[in-house]
Structure 1
Amino acid sequence: MIFGDIKVKAPIRWAMVGGGKGSQIGYIHRAAALRDNSFQLVAGAFDIDPARGKAFGETLLVSPERCYPDYQTLFAEEAKRADGIQAVSIATPNGTHFAICKAALEAGLHVVCEKPLCFTTLEADELRALANRQGRLIGVTYGYAGHQLIRQAREMIARGDLGEIRIVNMQFAHGFHSAEVEAANPATRWRVDPKFAGPSYVLGDVGTHPYYLSEVMLPELKIRRLMCTRQSFVKSRQLEDNAYVIMEYSNGAIGTLWASAVNAGSMHGQKIRVVGSKASLEWWDERPNQLIYEIQGQPQQILERGMDYLYPQALEDDRIGGGHPEGLFEAWANLYFRFAMAMEALGRGDQAAVDALGIPGVDAGYEGVRWVENCVRSADAGAVWVEYR
């Protein structure tokens, strides 16, 4: 149970690039990072418009002289200060992530980055090597990976409660872009433009979320080959707004993933179901406090967050007792709480402590990019099977 006690010696001095006025994701980052006093927001380059960014930063109680016009100035000026920033979060369009992340690492900063970390595995490899040389953390915000019941599912699978894993069914299929909303919404417009979003829309934007949940729950499961088909149902879009992926794993299991922004009527639709030889688990982010557990031949069980019958790993990050809802903000806060502990551990050279935290780090960012690359390669070749590489 988390009671708000600080687990780091002092709050990490922290900045943001992007996430300015009107940014939903920017607010989520700040709400998560500041919840446990593990971070202190002291600087930022919050907006592509410097004046607007400075005005917004001041509303966050950031000193005017530490509200910078761009990330280059932010990193250069903060490096001159004895109390300069130690970490930065990147909440900007996809096409900027690689350059900002690389510059932050070169400046000796820890990084928390929105996904995708970058566009190619070559770029991801470069960032991973740089982070290792600098001894700095790259955290990737696969937000719901911080939810306690994801850890419960991981532990149940590891202990053999489901038996041999046969099927993994994943989806993140909402309906909010079932029409051409980007015509009037700049925040959506860049997501469907390959110049800013990269080689994929929904595969990278939403599909990587349940895919990473599967990696958390099933770390030993490795893809052998996959087949992907993708569509743009809104014809003005250059990138797909719907995609299906079939995956064959090295142990003989099969996986499917549906990523969509045109599932009309669906609010969010992020679900993962793991089927074993003895039982199945299912989790849905719209009802995050319940994990469905179905043993063959027995009545369905609903496991509730915060209850003593869960494994200890699922109880560590509870912020309130069972029965009260915890969801997105708490899951993100759990990630940031652990990001701070990882940053401190790296500062004392304790890689083992970092590994034990189970956070989505640079390897998670790399695997997300790798998965999208393989999906695009299959879809662009005519929805053919491709060996996973």
Structure 2
Amino acid sequence: MFNEELQFKPAIRWGMVGGGRGSQIGYSHRCAAQRDGLFKLMAGAFDLNAERGRSFGTNLGLSTERCYPDYTTMFTEEAKRPDGIEAVSIATPNATHYEICKAALHAGLHVVCEKPITFTSKEASELQSLAEQQQRKLAVMYGYSGYPMIHQAREMVRRGDLGEIRVVNMQFAHGSHNIEHEKNDPGLKWRVSPQVAGPTYVLGDIGTHIFYLCEMITGLEVSRLSCMKQAFIRSRAPLEDNAHVMLEYTSGAVGTLWASAVNAGAMHQQKFRIVGEKASIEWWDEHPNQLRYEVQGEPARVLERGSAYLYNDAAGVAASHIGVGHPEGYFESWANLYHRFALAFTGQTSHDESPLWYPDVYAGINGVRLCEKCVESATSQSQWVSFY
């Protein structure tokens, strides 16, 4: 159960770049970061339009002088203040992430960045090195990894409940963009524009989410992959709105990943099935409080979030905010992650003194690498390519 008494005095002083008026992602970051009282929003550069950003920030309760016209000014001015920000979240379009992350780390700030953190793994590795040099943390907002049942799944794999992992079946395949909605939706338009979104659309935007979940649950390392991708809405080319990926892991296990925005009729359809030699588990983000557990030769079981029979790690790593039976969802998952970010930023360890888990820069690097390698394969008639 979540421990409400864990507080920092004072809370981590926190700023935002992007995520201004009308931004769903910005709202998600603010709700999650401040839910447990571990972060306090002190400053922001919320909008490319300085006046609009100032108006928005003051409506949130910030002082006018701490609503900045751009991130460079914010980092410079906040560094001069005795109460300047200690951490920043970046909720801007993809093309800006690398430069903003770099500037934030140079300013001595801990960083939470939307994915992808960069367009290339080379740039992502540069940020890793810079974070280490500055002795600051760079976290990546894989928002679904805060669900408690994801950590139950991870612990079940670690303890051998499934046996040796053989097959990893992943999908994130919604139908919301089955027609050319970007004509009237600026938020979608940049996601299908290569100069802003980067080398991929659905692979980077949603495929990396399910890829990271299964990577953290299984601990498996990809050895090579083959990718086939399409732009069924032709104006989106060269970016894809549908992709199928086959993966081979160094352990001998195999996997598949389907990422799509044109799965007509589907709401979200982010799912995984992990198959071991003894048993399998399934999870679906539209029913995040349940984990299906199927042992060969036994009746199928549905494990419920918050139940006493779960492994302690499901509570200790990503604490439930409310008792069993009450549904927890998206905002709780994000809040669980910000709780972990706060512990990481303040140098605390896990409850059992083991290394502190959170989606870090290494997770960000592998997400970027997935996109790079899928593009490399797809543009070579789906040839198999080495992951590293």
Indicate how the Cα distance of structure 1 residues 269 and 123 shifts in structure 2: closer, same or farther if over 3 A, else same: same
CA–CA distance in structure 1, aligned partners of residues 134 and 359 of structure 2:
18
Once the two structures are TM-superposed, the CA of residue 357 in structure 1 deviates from its matched residue by: 2.2
Deviation at 1:355, TM superposition (A): 6.9
Query: Which residue of structure 2 lines up, in the alignment, with residue 210 of structure 1?
Result: 210
CA offset at residue 386 of structure 1? 1.0
Cα distance change on mapping 1:367 and 1:352 into 2, 3 Å: farther
Q: Within the alignment, does 1:375 sit opposite 2:377 as a pair?
A: no
Q: Structure 1 residues 31 and 216 mapped into 2: Cα distance closer, same or farther (>3 Å)?
A: same
The alpha carbon displacement at 1:8 in A equals 3.1
Q: Which residue number in structure 2 is paired with residue 285 of structure 1?
A: 285
Residue of structure 1 equivalent to 2:251: 251
Q: Measure how far apart 1:6 and its partner are.
A: 2.9
Match of 1:11 in 2: 11
Secondary structure of 1:302 counterpart: strand
Structure 1, unpaired ranges of 5+: none
Gaps of 5+ in 2: none
Aligned match of 1:29: 29
Choose the corresponding residue for 1:319, options 310, 318, 321: 321
Q: State the 1:225 CA deviation.
A: 1.0
> Given that residues 7 and 37 in structure 2 are in contact (C-alpha distance below 8 angstroms), is that contact kept between their aligned partners in structure 1?
no
- The equivalent of 2:339 in structure 1 is 337
Q: Match of 2:386?
A: 387
| Number of the residue aligned with 2:79 | 79
Partners of 2:19 and 2:92 within 8 A in 1:
yes
Superimposed CA distance per residue, residues 249-300 of structure 1 (whole angstroms, 9 cap, x where no aligned partner): 1111110000001011111110011001111000000000000000111111
Determine the structure 2 residue equivalent to 1:152.
152
Matches within 5 A, 1:298-313: 298-313=298-313
Q: Could you tell me whether the CA contact under 8 Å between 1:86 and 1:109 is conserved in 2?
A: yes
Question: Secondary structure of 2:88's match?
Answer: strand
Bigger shift: residues 1-10 or 86-95: 1-10
Partner amino acid, structure 2, of 1:387: S
Identity %: 60
Partner of 1:100: 100
Change (3 A) 1:303 1:170: same
**Post-superposition offset of 1:7:** 4.0
- Counterpart of 1:64 in structure 2 is 64
The CA distance in 2 between the partners of 1:83 and 1:253, in whole Å, is: 51
Deviations 1:308-362 (A, max 9, x none): 000001123011110000111101101001101111108xxx7999972210011
Measured in 2, the distance between the counterparts of 1:237 and 1:351 equals 44
Q: How far apart are the structure 2 equivalents of 1:18 and 1:270?
A: 26
Query: Counterparts in 2 of 1:209-248, with a 5 A limit?
Result: 209-219=209-219, 221-238=220-237, 239-248=239-248
Distance in 1, matches of 2:57 and 2:185, equals: 23
Q: Is contact 1:154–1:216 with CA below 8 Å preserved after alignment? A: yes
1:2 lines up with 2:36 in the alignment: no
Deviates more, 1:313-322 or 1:80-89: 313-322
Tell me if 1:45 matches 2:18.
Answer: no
**Residues 82, 353 of structure 1: alpha-carbon distance in 2 compared, 3 angstrom cutoff:** farther
TM-score by length of 1: 0.97
- Which residue identity lines up with residue 173 of structure 2 in the other structure? A
User: Deviation per CA, 1:28-77, whole angstroms, max 9, x where unpaired?
Assistant: 00000000000000100001111111100011101111000000111011
Deviation at residue 169 of structure 1 after TM alignment: 0.3
Paired with 1:252 and 1:237, the residues of 2 have a C-alpha distance of 35
Distance (Å, rounded) in 2 between the aligned partners of 1:40 and 1:204: 30
User: What's the CA shift for 1:305?
Assistant: 0.1
- Supply the distance in 1 between the matched residues of 2:52 and 2:354 (Cα, whole angstroms): 39
2:117 maps to what in 1? 117
Distance of 1:62 and 1:272 partners within structure 2: 41
Helix, strand or coil: the match of 1:236? helix
Q: What's the counterpart of residue 192 of structure 1?
A: 192
- Residue aligned with 1:345, SS: coil
Kindly provide the amino acid, as one letter, of the partner of residue 93 in structure 1. P
Residue 356 of structure 1 is matched in structure 2 by 355
**Conservation of the 8 A alpha-carbon contact between 1:150 and 1:216:** no
Quick one: distance in 2 between partners of 1:354 and 1:243?
A: 40
Does the CA contact (< 8 Å) of 1:214 and 1:272 recur in 2? Answer: yes
Distance 1:3 1:355, change over 3 A: closer
TM-score (norm 2): 0.97
